Amino acid sequence: MVKKGKLSSGKTRKKIIVGNWKMYITDKRQAKEIFGKIKRKMLKVEMVKTVICPPVSFLGSLSLAAKGNLFLGSQDVFFENQGSFVGENGPEMVKSAGASFVIIGHSERRARGDSDEVVSRKIAVALSFDLTPVICVGEKERDDAGKYLSFLETQIRESLSKVSGRFLGKLIIAYEPVWTIGRPFKDAMKPAEFEETALFIRKILSDLYKNEDVLSVPVLYGGSVSSINAGELLKEGKADGFLVGRESVSPTHFGEIVEIVEKS
Ligand code: PGA
């Protein structure tokens, strides 16, 4: 496994929390109410950037409220910008609806057919429209022989195959081991496991780009994040932030996570 030291990010910068609302909220009024509460919380927050990713159909009605350290993101984007693609949302569409970030390669989309090739095209198109991609990677399971490491390496190399080094400053990696998503909060990844894997991810980036800028790519943790585990994942695991699912639609619980990160 990779040695600590050179490859740790080490720099002080704002942490990032991405809230992935999935399809939990189906009513616009409720979406506005939750977003309003999160916004009030964010007014007092200085050291955390929060990106809320609602269902794409609600982006427009929340966009005016996204200010300061509160941003909007899309949960996905199509890899073409325009044309006869029924039901898709291209980069210009999500951007003009208010998104400045986009989650790409979430395991729930990969499970429904997004291959590494598709993910790489989505990342490339997002970058070309100046959207910040939050690139999800993560193994489905762990094995003692360490096969998950080569799985992860292939996933990262192929997902980033169309990204040139000049975009490194725009990338966010969300490491979400699939086996920790949607679990009881006590089953989130252990901080030491996260730290070790984040170093492995940085090592892959460093081999790929041979560029010091890889140190500034935030590596977030995702998978059953809550106020119960956020503190230790930041402190001991040295996470650069989180991708939060279920807890992001509870303004109170999400606010607690934001507070923990703000104070870290
Ligand atoms: P969870 O979801 O926080 O509910 O586990 C995380 C995710 O799927 O991004």
pLDDT along the chain (264 residues), means of 10: 45 87 97 96 94 98 91 98 98 98 98 97 98 98 94 97 94 97 93 97 95 92 97 97 98 97 94
Closest-CA residue, ligand 1 atom 6, reads: 245
Predicted local confidence at residue 12, as pLDDT: 61
Query: Helix 191-209 vs helix 147-159: angle between axes, to the nearest 10 degrees?
Result: 50
Alpha-carbon distance values, 27 to 30, 34, 48, 54, 61 (Å): 5, 11, 27, 11, 12
Examine the residue annotation and report whether 106 is marked as an active-site residue of this protein.
yes
Catalytic residue among 176, 195, 247, 262: 176
Ligand 1 closest atom vs CA 103: 9
Query: Helix 116-128 vs helix 147-159: angle between axes, to the nearest 10 degrees?
Result: 40
**One-character DSSP codes across 99-168:** -SEEEES-HHHHTTT--HHHHHHHHHHHHHTTPEEEEEE--S---TT-HHHHHHHHHHHHHTTT--GGGG
What pTM does this model have? 0.94
Ligand 1: residue of 181, 185, 187, 225 to mutate (most ligand atoms within 8 A of CB) is 181
Report yes or no: 103 and 136 within 8 Å, Cβ to Cβ.
Answer: yes
Examine the residue annotation and report whether 253 is marked as an active-site residue of this protein.
no
Catalytic residue among 46, 80, 106, 196: 106
Å from CA of 35 to ligand 1 middle: 18
Predicted local confidence at residue 8, as pLDDT: 46
- Ligand 1 cavity residues, CB under 6 Å: 20, 176, 181-182, 222-225, 243-246
Q: Two tokens at 1?
A: 């496994």
Ligand 1 closest atom vs CA 108: 8
Helices (H) and strands (E) in the chain, counts: 9, 8
Q: Measured over all CA atoms, what is the biggest interatomic distance in the chain, rounded to whole angstroms?
A: 50
In the chain the beta strands, taken as DSSP E runs, fall at: 15-20, 48-53, 70-74, 101-104, 132-137, 172-175, 219-222, 241-244
Å from CA of 65 to ligand 1 middle: 24
Closest-CA residue, ligand 1 atom 7, reads: 245
Predicted local confidence at residue 175, as pLDDT: 98
Report yes or no: 128 and 95 within 8 Å, Cβ to Cβ.
Answer: no
User: In a 3-state reduction of DSSP, which class is residue 204?
Assistant: helix
Predicted local confidence at residue 3, as pLDDT: 44
CA–CA separation, 194 and 8 (whole Å)? 12
